[in-house]
Chain A
Amino acid sequence: CSESDLGPISLNWFEELSAEAPP
């Protein structure tokens, strides 16, 4: 699967989503 199918990929998705999600 390519980035165009799945959108921009981030290696730090877990940390980023944890910082953005409601506590």
Chain B
Amino acid sequence: DVAEQLTPVLPDGPGEESLQFVSELKDSSCSGAVDVSTVWWAAAGHRELRVVTASESAVSLWQPLAPDCWGKVYTWHLREIPVIQIVPLPDTCNLVCVALGELEIGEIRLLLYSSETDSFEHSLVKTGNIKAVVGLKDQRLVSSSRTMQEQQVEMVSLSETGGSKDKQTLMPPEETVTAFAEVEGMREALVGTTAGNSVVVWNLKTGQLLRKMHIGYSYPASICHRAYSDSGLLFVVLSHPHAKESESCGSPAFRVVAFNPRTGRSAGVMFCCLPPGPAGRRGDVWDTAGAAVLTSGAVAVWDLLRGRCTAVLPAGPAGRWALARWASGGAGLLAGRCNGTVHLYRY
């Protein structure tokens, strides 16, 4: 039924860009999947893409053994505080970053293999009332945390051994930062969204807060996913988890907004709608593709440049999808069910 309902939103059918099933990974010991991701892992002079799965109390690393066959390499048990999410570290090898907490993130940990002790370990990177965290290229991690009095925004450079090499304090905006996104192709630029529905821009090298630009009142509580700088404009991919469905344009899943950082003015560029009916949940963006799990248990994929839905994974008889994440380096889409099943699709 779900597939039939969703078919009309794909004007040209699934087409070339539809998802091709590659392989399945089944974690029979998983009692409730909370996140899935990929990590580059180097061992014995060979670098490969591995899958990372997380439940509240354990994070597992999976290795490709043969076509369509995954084997669990190791499981880190984290029993004191529940795991909330895996924080992807783009281009980083042999390091998995996880956020733990109850309702909010209380600590960030690195999971790694230590060749010195020939064992898998985990180390604490940060504690506090952490509101947002993002992993950036070159093993950098930015987080915002809040005390009663003030907000702290900080970037740490991570070492291969799980420590922090270097720290840079970023100037905090007055409003709480709710999400960060790296700016494609600009190593020293970072954008964030705030609780007051603004986009802020930092210089990561100097820690300066360069600009605060209001998004507008139409879509409150916007979350940034990705940004691109082109022709003097900053294009920011936003999602609106709390936006209401409207008759004219349906429920917004992702919006691409162009900001002129010089003037602070903005204009909507592209608008991706959820299929009629189902509301959206967590979304993920890679390059110019967006994916989100719908409340119906289906996964929808959008081409953010053309503003159209390009593929839908219906919930199907095996169950509802709970997670949708893009794999590193364009390796495809990971779709996960609560029971620990993960499907890898080529996109």
- Output the nearest chain A residue to B201 by Cβ-Cβ distance: A17
Binary CB contact string for chain A from 1 to 23 against chain B (1 if under 8 A, 0 otherwise): 10001111111011011100111
In-complex Cβ contact of B265 among A6, A11, A13, A22 (8 A) = A6
Given contact pairs A21-B203, A21-B208, A14 touches B262 in the complex (Cβ within 8 A): no
Total interface residues on B, CB under 8 Å, equals 26
**Does A23 lie within 8 Å of B265, measured CB to CB?**
no
Q: Are A22 and B208 in contact (CB under 8 A)?
A: yes
Min Cβ gap A13→B in Å is: 4
Once A21-B208, A21-B210 are accepted as A-B contacts, the answer to whether A7 and B262 lie under 8 Å apart by CB is yes
B262 touches A9 (CB 8 A): yes
Q: Which residues of chain B have C-beta atoms less than 8 A from A6's C-beta?
A: 233, 258-260, 263, 265-267
A-side contacts of B266, CB under 8 Å: 6
B89 to chain A, nearest CB (A): 24
Query: A11 vs B273: C-alpha distance in the bound complex, in angstroms?
Result: 31
A13 touches B203 (CB 8 A): no
Asked if A9 contacts B203 (CB within 8 A), the reply is: no
Q: Is the CB of A13 within 8 A of B261?
A: yes
Q: Give chain A nearest CB distance to B266 CB in angstroms.
A: 7
B332 CB to nearest chain A CB (Å):
32
Report A-chain residues with C-beta under 8 Å of the C-beta of B269. Answer: 1
In the complex, what residue of chain B is closest to A7 when comparing beta carbons?
Answer: B263
Check A9–B260 contact: CB distance below 8 A.
yes
Please state if A5 and B208 are interface contacts (CB–CB under 8 Å): no
B149 at the interface (CB under 8 A from A): no
Q: Of A1, A10, A17, which contacts B210 at CB under 8 A?
A: A17
Closest to B258 in A: A1
Q: Is the CB of A9 within 8 A of B210?
A: no
Identify the interface centre among A14, A17, A18: most chain B CB within 10 Å of its CB.
A14
| B3 touches A (CB below 8 Å) | no
Bound together, the chains give a CA A11 to CA B230 distance in angstroms of 8
Is B338 engaged at the interface, CB distance under 8 Å to the other chain?
Answer: no
Bound CA span A8–B261, Å: 10
Smallest distance from the beta carbon of A16 to chain B beta carbons, Å? 7
State whether the Cβ of B211 lies closer than 8 Å to any Cβ in chain A: yes
Cβ-defined contact, B263 with A18, below 8 A: no
List residues of chain B with CB under 8 Å of any chain A CB: 171, 186, 188-189, 201, 203, 206, 208-211, 229, 231-234, 258-263, 265-267, 269
Q: In the complex, given contacts A6-B267, A7-B262, A8-B263, what are 11 additional A-B residue pairs having Cβ atoms less than 8 angstroms apart?
A: A5-B265, A5-B267, A6-B258, A6-B259, A7-B263, A8-B260, A8-B262, A13-B260, A18-B208, A21-B208, A21-B210
Lowest 8 CB-CB distances: which A-B pairs, in order? A7-B263, A1-B267, A9-B232, A6-B260, A17-B210, A13-B261, A21-B208, A11-B232
